[in-house]
Amino acid sequence: MGNVPVIALLFFSFLLLPYASFSLPLCTDSRAPVTLNTTLTFCPYNGPTCCDSTEDVQLQRQFQAMNISSPDCASLLKSVLCARCDPFSAELFTISSTPRQVAVLCNSSVSANSTQSTQAANDFCSKVWDTCENVSVANSPFAPSLQGQAGLPGNSSITKLTDQWQSKSDFCSSFGGESADESVCFAGEPVTFNETGTPSAPHGMCLEKIGNGSYLNMAPHPDGSNRAFFGNQQGQIWLATIPELGSGGTLEIDESNPFIDLTDEVNFNTEFGMMGIAFHPNFAKNGRFFASFNCDKVKWPGCAGRCSCNSDVNCDPSKLPLDNGAQPCQFQAVVAEYSANGTASSEVSLATSAKPIEVRRILTMGLPFTAHHGGQILFGPNDGYLYFMMGDGGGTGGDPYNFAQNKKSLLGKIIRLDVDNIPSAAEISKLGLWGNYSIPKDNPFAEDSALLPEIWALGLRNPWRCSFDSERPSYFVCADVGQDTYEEVDLISKGGNYGWRVYEGPDLFHPTASAGGNTSANSISPIFPVMGYTHSEVNKNEGSASITGGYFYRSNTDPCMYGRYLYGDLYAGAMWAGIETPENSGNFTANRIPFSCAKDSPLQCTSVPGSALPALGYLFSFGEDNKKDVFILASSGVYRVVPPSRCNYSCSKENATATTTGPGPTTLPPSYASHFHYSRVLALFSSLLVLLFFSCV
């Protein structure tokens, strides 16, 4: 026991190591900044901002009440107040996970986030002290007892910094912060990042074909193994083993023996089927998993739910036109829970089958038309909540009932549910919920009472494949299918409005008048796409274009793809890779990526006639395994991204010792160190600490 105090000291010393935050434009209330239709009159933010005109006026009044006699000091303190409007205010007003009311002032020799380079320009905290130390200020935000908290309203005391602080050092130790890589501090003007230029796009992406099946969904086994679940649109889910990279093996999957078969419940055709699968983060112990599918109430009595066209959204189902001969809400969107418990295996993680009997119905919603119902489900990696992507319902096009902008409709939304805390039937009825779930307390309805409590984001047409960045879980990205001109990629944030049907991508959309009413551009603050492409950019098949969202590539298999967001088009057989430049700025540039199939692919890749391009067919979806390798799920089979050298693409970052037939690089890309999560290091250190502790007992 004699060494325990030393170990404890080491542990707490480790906790004081700098925390590398991972910023993106985000406001203090977790919403994305918006571009206003009018310019703020007081605070100097003309682009995306975290303030609206009301907050701008409030800051102006607060500034006027400070009654600052020195113009130079007044200018600096105005900028400090206006930092609340900065697009990066979530980072500026947080240190070590502790919210502040005064932005973290830069006081290092070089500010990593700023384009300024001199010590004098970047030591903003010292500049504030030197300029304002003997200036009288009413309602000063810099009271020592507050340590970064704003002065209390109505506190009219007039003070100087020298009255409150013994020295510049004391002042800046409380209100300043050293700027480190990937951190943000305030230097007196809107946060900017060093422009280092957009990295050149990879020369090409190499694929190998490992399976012939046609799947719509892929989910890695939560036990961390090399197994994954694959689901098809008809309603079957299989458990498969993924071959080691470079082994020459193929996907080990027995299609005659599915993990679960839901085809009796699932209504399948071009627009309908099983659209999503999600396995509880603790599936290896609790056996809980979920399926999102469509059903037909004419064929299955269990297909019964409230119609999404209802009085709450000023929609009368009896007046909806017939869609492809179907009655309104004949078809339903379902999210249901199942269990692998009670199977032959005593250990859930080893279960190879599950019974097709619902544990509970999470949600059932009648669909007004036969298209645009999204259907993907995902668990948030940080919060453990279930996200459900829902399209605008379709119809004749143009969201004819304006559901996506209607805050009382679940159509055209991303929905966020708590499936771990199930209320009683009486509570569900009282709250008017659509099924067996509860509402996360931090859903945006808490700030916008007009929103249905299930809604996380709105203004989407048909989100088709979303993902969380495994290295930066705050980056939640969705591809949203366009209508006439533009396919978009959106960075999703709490309460964000992504514009449809006021906008299609970055451009105004001009819908016809509808029973649901029109939404004016001036009445919303849309968040525009971070990436995308026009229909004219792709070689369209049958006059169509439809985006398929993918993943931030986080495998070391192709180091030249590392950190890029990979996405494609359902029809065009085209793929793009987007890169954020500068890093953590929220500004993306995308390039179309050439791709080909490795000659030593375990399964032969059929080529497009007259081209070496692999004939993928329809690009349904992307997948990611526990090693973060990325897969393409196409109508022609399952493909995996492999080292570029296997297709003779050059990549300077690829391990020089890798062969064209061997596995990918075994070393991490150079940039990996800057992305390595503090939490992972802490978890590893904590584990070592426990081992050391018990070795000393």
Residue 521: the pLDDT is 93
Residue 345: the pLDDT is 54
State the chain's mean pLDDT as an integer. 85
**Residue 15 predicted with pLDDT over 50:** no
Q: Give the pLDDT band (50/70/90) at residue 110.
A: very low
Q: Decide which of 110 and 100 is more confident.
A: 100
State phi, psi for 124 to the nearest 5 degrees.
-65, -35
Burial of 322 (0-12, 13-18, 19+ CB in 10 A): exposed
Q: What whole-number distance in Å separates Cα of residue 278 and Cα of residue 280?
A: 7
**Residue 590 predicted with pLDDT over 80:** yes
* Peptide bond connecting 582 to the previous residue in cis, omega within 30 degrees of 0: yes
Residue 213: the pLDDT is 96
Tens-place pLDDT, residues 458-513: 999 999 999 999 999 999 999 999 999 999 999 999 999 999 999 999 999 998 87
Highest mean pLDDT among 16-30, 76-90, 133-147: 76-90
Q: Give the pLDDT band (50/70/90) at residue 142.
A: confident
Q: Give the pLDDT band (50/70/90) at residue 607.
A: confident
Distant-in-sequence, close-in-space partners of 119: CB < 8 Å, separation ≥ 6: 109, 110
8 Å CB contact between 159 and 145: no
**Residue 672 predicted with pLDDT over 80:** no
State phi, psi for 603 to the nearest 5 degrees.
-115, 140
Distant-in-sequence, close-in-space partners of 179: CB < 8 Å, separation ≥ 6: 106, 108, 110, 111, 112, 113, 114, 122, 185
Residue 565: the pLDDT is 98
**Residue 145 predicted with pLDDT over 90:** no
Q: What's the average model confidence in pLDDT over 74-89?
A: 94
- C-alpha 510: how far from chain center: 29
**Residue 572 predicted with pLDDT over 70:** yes
Residue 382: the pLDDT is 94
Distant-in-sequence, close-in-space partners of 152: CB < 8 Å, separation ≥ 6: none
Which contiguous run of DSSP H or E holds residue 34?
Answer: strand 34-35
**Residue 120 predicted with pLDDT over 50:** no
Tally of CB atoms within 10 A around 205: 24
Among 181-185, 387-391, 423-427, the range scoring the smallest mean pLDDT is: 181-185
Q: Give the pLDDT band (50/70/90) at residue 155.
A: very low
**Residue 681 predicted with pLDDT over 70:** no
Q: What's the average model confidence in pLDDT over 322-343?
A: 90
Residue 249: the pLDDT is 98
Q: Decide which of 69 and 23 is more confident.
A: 69
Q: What's the average model confidence in pLDDT over 609-637?
A: 93
Residue 343: the pLDDT is 58
Q: Give the pLDDT band (50/70/90) at residue 148.
A: very low
8 Å CB contact between 514 and 396: no
Look-up: residue for tokens 């009445």?
Answer: 523
Q: Give the pLDDT band (50/70/90) at residue 199.
A: confident
**Residue 112 predicted with pLDDT over 60:** no
Residue 344: the pLDDT is 53
Q: Give the pLDDT band (50/70/90) at residue 666.
A: very low
Which contiguous run of DSSP H or E holds residue 284?
Answer: helix 283-286
Query: What CA dihedral angle connects 251, 257, 258 and 264, to 10 degrees?
Result: 140
Among 112-121, 201-210, 663-672, the range scoring the smallest mean pLDDT is: 663-672
Among 147-161, 401-415, 436-450, the range scoring the smallest mean pLDDT is: 147-161
Residue 10: the pLDDT is 35
8 Å CB contact between 291 and 338: yes
pTM value?
Answer: 0.85
Tokens of 333: 């969107």
Highest mean pLDDT among 8-22, 84-98, 322-336, 411-425: 411-425
Q: Decide which of 137 and 670 is more confident.
A: 137
Q: Are strands 34-35 and 48-49 parallel, antiparallel or unpaired?
A: antiparallel
Look-up: residue for tokens 């910023």?
Answer: 23
Q: What's the average model confidence in pLDDT over 265-279?
A: 97
Tens-place pLDDT, residues 380-407: 999 999 999 999 998 888 999 999 999 9
Q: Give the pLDDT band (50/70/90) at residue 108.
A: low
How far apart, in Å, are the Cα atoms of 217 and each of 238, 284, 634? 10, 19, 10
Q: Decide which of 633 and 2 is more confident.
A: 633
8 Å CB contact between 485 and 461: no
Inter-axis angle of helices 4-15 and 678-696, to 10 degrees? 180
Q: What's the average model confidence in pLDDT over 77-84?
A: 95
Q: Decide which of 586 and 345 is more confident.
A: 586
State phi, psi for 428 to the nearest 5 degrees.
-60, -45
Q: What's the average model confidence in pLDDT over 328-355?
A: 87
Tokens of 524: 């919303």
Q: Comparing C-alpha atoms, which of 62, 42, 63 is closest to residue 52?
A: 42
Amino acid (1-letter code) at residue 211: G
Tally of CB atoms within 10 A around 463: 29
Percent of the chain scored above 70 by pLDDT? 84
Sequence spans of domains, the chain: 25-177
The half-sphere exposure of 45 on its side-chain side, counting CA atoms within 13 A, is 29
Q: What whole-number distance in Å separates Cα of residue 334 and Cα of residue 294?
A: 6
Q: Decide which of 673 and 530 is more confident.
A: 530
**Residue 549 predicted with pLDDT over 50:** yes
Residue 8: the pLDDT is 39
Q: What's the average model confidence in pLDDT over 210-220?
A: 98
